[in-house]
Amino acid sequence: MKQGKRLTKKQKNDLLKARPGVTLENWLSERETSEGVVLLNKHSGKRWLLDKIDGMLRPYKVRT
């Protein structure tokens, strides 16, 4: 993630409550999982998991 592109606490809270399709400047919420909300970074095309418990952004890996 590029420097200065971090989400504020309010943005994280809004996204955690968000339905799929809610957008911020650089982020699109795709789906909600048991762990949190999967976000798509519009610039990089990478998916990130916004954790429900601690609010941390982590690279999202699909579990098979």
Could you read off the pLDDT tens digit of each residue along the chain, which spans 64 residues? 444 567 788 888 888 777 777 788 888 888 888 888 899 988 889 999 988 888 888 899 887 6
d(CA 45, CA 8): 20
- Assigned domain for 20 exists: yes
What is the count of structural domains for the chain?
Answer: 1
Q: What pLDDT was estimated at residue 59?
A: 92
Does residue 55 sit within a domain?
yes
Res 1: pLDDT? 44
Q: What are phi and psi of 9, to 5 degrees?
A: -60, -40
Q: How many CA atoms lie within 13 A of 46 on its CB side?
A: 11
Residue 44 lies in a domain: yes
User: What is the span of the domain harbouring residue 40?
Assistant: 9-59
Exposed, middle or buried, 49 (CB in 10 Å: 0-12/13-18/19+)? middle
Residue 35's region, left for phi above 0, alpha for psi from -120 to 50, else beta, is alpha
Q: What is the pTM of this model?
A: 0.72
Cβ(29)–Cβ(20) under 8 Å?
yes
Residue 50 lies in a domain: yes
The per-residue pLDDT for 5 is: 62
| Domain-located, residue 64 | no
| 33 inside domain | yes
